[in-house]
Amino acid sequence: MKTFVAVQAIDDNPIPRGKDMTKKLKKKLFGAKHDRHALIKKQINALRTLQKNEGKQHIFSIQLAQLIDKIPDSILLKDREGRKLITNQLTKGFFKQCDLDGCGDVDMAPTLAHKKIRAEHKHSRSSLKAELHLALAKHQFKLYYQSQVDSAGRMLGAEALLRWEHPKHGLLAPHQFIDIAEQTGLIQPIGMWVLQTACEQLKLWQSDPLKKDLLLAVNISSGQFSRPEFVEQLLQILDKTGVNATGLKLELSESLMLHYIANTIEKMEALKQLGIRFSMDNFGTGYSSLSQLKRLPIDQLKIDQFLMRDIGTDSYEAMIVKTIIDMTHNLGIDVLAGGVETEQQFIRLKQLGCSAYQGYLFGEPVPLNEFEELISQSVAVDGHTLPLPTAACIALQKSGTE
């Protein structure tokens, strides 16, 4: 994004005001303002068109970046559609620490606003970096669990999601500190703690008749998986916990799998011999093509929530998802839709042939005790699994008890 500097122009011959301004000059000023607003509107409309035609297949194109750069920050941040079109990769260093709606309300003499945000961002990162070193020792990291379900809404398993219970800032999600962990090298001990904790929990579930078939997915960062000792360390965890590895699913990013493809395939094949499953996370946000999937020993493809937003109403978006589902099924790969938030999305995805789902419609990430309560609620007396109540059903239940 460009930084725009507020400059006060001093004119020895200022524009006449009120009665002194001629009708001709008034008309010119109005025309100039109208042209500027029309140009900005045209650029934002072009962004929307680009998103529909190219963005979902090649999101981080140079053309998109250049177009975003032409629109003043003060307008782009205030425009709802404009904000939606800014991907987290293009604005990684800026938007992760900021509330976009809050930034949009700032009266942008842009220099002052940007300076303040950058200063707060820098201070926050420096503070988190120092505190991150102590977080493991003080047991401030926790795992939260989010349900993954089948087309009938029955629970298949969960994804284990890292949270930092910061004593000052409250509950922090990974995007607020993982990049700092990677820069400082702390991603290695944190990542191993996540795997150790997840395997210990999975082992407990495997000893419970009601939970023994649950799968547990763990997201592995590129910094962690690319380390030479990763496979050996994971083998030690499996041996120490005694967990059946067939219940463990590792989620790897699309970019990791393709940028280090030879090394990645070698490690994946070694771990698949133990029964570990692999899922390609956030498919649809990078440069991979479906033809490349046949080279990778993956069991599941997780479609990014970016492609879920308008799937119930956007025929183009539905066509892309349908193509992904059909081609992956032909390759013997399962498909999970991430970020499912509405019944309309769920219904449309079932029509398109999707077989697994995750998202707020079926439950937000919750601590272990709440997740295990959810498991108990989903299992009938005779041992058969019942569909999970959706977010809408839960809301109705709550309103009925109030």
Can you give the pLDDT at residue 246? 97
Can you give the pLDDT at residue 235? 97
- In sequence order, the β-bridge partners of residue 159 are 146, 217
Cα–Cα distance for residue pair 220/191, rounded to 1 Å: 7
Can you give the pLDDT at residue 376? 85
Q: Which of 9-23, 35-49, 196-210 has the highest mean pLDDT?
A: 196-210
DSSP string, 62-112: HHHHHHHHHS-HHHHTT-HHHHHTS-TTTTHHHHTTS-HHHHHTS---HHH
Can you give the pLDDT at residue 45? 61
Can you give the pLDDT at residue 59? 40
Output the average pLDDT for the chain.
75
Cα–Cα distance for residue pair 265/252, rounded to 1 Å: 12
pLDDT per residue as tens digits for the range 86-134: 433 343 333 333 333 333 333 344 444 444 444 444 446 667 777 888 8
Is the model more confident about 394 or about 344? 344
- Asked whether residue 305 carries a pLDDT value surpassing 80, the answer given is yes
Can you give the pLDDT at residue 258? 75
What's the Cα-to-Cα distance from 49 to each of 18, 43, 52, 54, rounded to whole Å?
A: 42, 10, 5, 8
pLDDT-derived band at 47 (thresholds 50, 70, 90) equals low
Query: Across residues 79-92, what is the average pLDDT?
Result: 44
Closest CA to 286 of 88, 111, 109, 116: 88
pLDDT per residue as tens digits for the range 135-170: 988 999 999 999 999 999 999 999 999 999 999 889
Phi, psi angles (nearest 5°) of residue 281: -85, 150
Is the model more confident about 93 or about 72? 72
The answer to whether 220 and 250 are in contact (CB under 8 A) is: yes
Question: Could you tell me the pTM of the whole model?
Answer: 0.68
Can you give the pLDDT at residue 309? 81
CA 267 to chain centre: 25
Can you give the pLDDT at residue 206? 97
The answer to whether 161 and 175 are in contact (CB under 8 A) is: no
- In sequence order, the β-bridge partners of residue 253 are 281
Which 8-state DSSP code applies to residue 359? S
Can you give the pLDDT at residue 30? 58
- In sequence order, the β-bridge partners of residue 157 are 148, 215
**Angle, CA 103 vertex, CA 102 and CA 108 arms, to 5°:** 130
- Asked whether residue 49 carries a pLDDT value surpassing 90, the answer given is no
Closest CA to 178 of 111, 253, 228: 253
Tokens of 216: 């547990």
**Angle, CA 199 vertex, CA 140 and CA 144 arms, to 5°:** 45
Cα–Cα distance for residue pair 257/281, rounded to 1 Å: 10
Can you give the pLDDT at residue 38? 63
Tokens of 306: 């970016």
Q: Please, which residues have CB within 8 angstroms of residue 352's CB and are 6 or more apart in sequence?
A: 318, 321, 322, 325
Query: Across residues 199-207, what is the average pLDDT?
Result: 97
Can you give the pLDDT at residue 327? 87
Percent of the chain's residues with pLDDT above 70: 61
Tokens of 390: 């959706």
Is the model more confident about 286 or about 381? 286
Can you give the pLDDT at residue 106? 37
pLDDT per residue as tens digits for the range 244-298: 999 999 999 877 877 778 888 999 999 999 999 999 988 876 555 566 778 889 9
- Asked whether residue 317 carries a pLDDT value surpassing 70, the answer given is yes
- Asked whether residue 212 carries a pLDDT value surpassing 70, the answer given is yes
pLDDT per residue as tens digits for the range 13-43: 444 444 445 666 656 555 665 665 666 566 5
Which domains, from first to last, does the chain contain?
A: 22-105 (no CATH), 125-401 (3.20.20.450)
Is the model more confident about 88 or about 313? 313
